[in-house]
Structure 1
Amino acid sequence: MRLADYINDLLYRYDCVIVPNFGGFITNKIAASVNTTTHTFYPPKKRLTFNAYLQHNDGLLANYIAATKNSSFEEAVAFITEEVALWNEELATTTIQVASVGSLSLNESKKLIFEPNPSSNFLTDSYGLAEVTVPAVERVEQEKVVPISTEQETKTIPLYLKRVAAAAVFVGVAYVGWNGIQNQQQQDALANQEEAVQKKIQSATFVIDNPLPTINLNVRKETKNFHIIAGAFQEVSNANSKLVALQEKGFEASIVGKNNLGLTQVAFASYTTREEARKALETIKATASKDAWLLAK
């Protein structure tokens, strides 16, 4: 995969993706809108911008590339550096396309100009939604309906229909009354049966001749206060990315809180004794990271 493809993937999950020593792609959520002139409805989306001053390596892009390619963090940083060098060479003569994110070019003042791709929507909540244009709604006046007076209706109803209607009402009232009496009798019978069952349950006594003996278990809680730190991050999202990368490599990694500077610390593993932690630290320094260090809480 190219560097542009990794950036494209991350913009669906994060609001800011920084390319070290190049710039940052930023998304801002905007609500759904409508153009009353063209009668076009636009779904919610993420608006893309580019900031050339965001060049600090926050670890997000490198960690994602390392996890995807199953490589080390240092190899991912080297890959980004090579891709950025190619971008700078191409920008000197032409416009470069960053996957479906947009295009980058240099203006007359040699400043980066970013043109977002209008057809791309990085808001996952709007997946499958597209622009919709509908024709204008024409209002049609309805004809007024002249109501028929009650006196006219009465005159048009024959006498024998009135008698049939009265007989139907009488039969209906009688039927409803008889059904009400039967339903009440059934409810009374069910209530008496339920009361009898409750009395039997309350009067029942259960006796256990040989109760089981009580077993007391003394369980000692294992506390892991010694942590081998892999890194500390200002952004929580970067700490989570580092955590996932370590877990995929087989480490029992965890986040052990923030330090005095407010940075979120990620540990390779945690141990109950200092001796265990020191042995593990030697192994990790020799195989995984020379910058790992021991934290005791």
Structure 2
Amino acid sequence: MQLEIYISDLLYRYECVTIPGFGAFLTQNVSATVDVASNTFHAPKKVLSFNEQIQKNDGLLANYIAEVEKIPFEIANKKIEKRVRLIKSYLTQGETLTFKNIGDIVFNKEGKILFEPTYQLNYLPDAFGLSQFSTPEIAREVYKKEVEKIEKVIPIAITPEKREAKSYLKYAAVALIALTLGGFGASKYYVDQVETHNQLAQEEATKQLDSKIQQATFNLNPLPAVTLNVTKQTGNYHIIAGAFRIEENCDKKVKELKNEGFSARKIGVNRYGLHQVVYASYEDRLEALKALRNIKNTHNSDAWLLTKQLD
């Protein structure tokens, strides 16, 4: 049984893989690092260590072996115990055992286990595909300090070419000042002319408007009076058209009846929590009964008369 292969598989997923009766391999996440001396960048990884104090069987390794080899859990434990006895015998004889892709194990003079991890595999899944790389050192040239040193010992001389250039600059500056002053004078004259023109135009427009107002004649014909006849729904006799649990349906019914010519309206909620709609309300009982018979014969046979004083 290749015990190190199963341990290696589990180290990708777990931080602790215990070999019952022998010890446990532990992992710890380490961030990416830079080796300044060699200019090498190292990817994040899991660092391996070994602790022989952790020997209690947690079932992780045995379960994995049983699952892979399709054997019972008890047989997997027996295989582990057999392999541990063999490992301890080799170590007692002073041999160094190499767990492939994990590291080397040996006994020291006191009979304690020494573990030297290998770095052939990175057990951190998030760093899959990342490898270390080196880059040449960046040489930063500091010119400022060198220039400052030179300026202290070497004076700055003005050559004839520089003097000639300075004279050109002098004449250019004089021309620029002259143009600027001339521009200010021309600009002021132009602005004054525009303001004068605008003022004359405004005065002329005001005269023409006053003339038009004086000549205009306004003929205001009075509009005909509009008389609105609003009939207020009153009375204690109400012809019920229906009652609705949802008020929205009640509003739709009122609108429908009004479109058909009735003086429909809502009169509130009854004791059953229903919104009531009436065709119309009447002050005279006989008039209400006459309207009810007409509605029953022509519109709604389920209509009925409610006698109630509304608030």
Q: TM-score, normalised by structure 2?
A: 0.45
Answer with 1 or 2: which has the greater Rg: 2
Task: Tell me: higher relative CO, structure 1 or 2? Use CA pairs within 8 A at least 6 residues apart.
Answer: 1
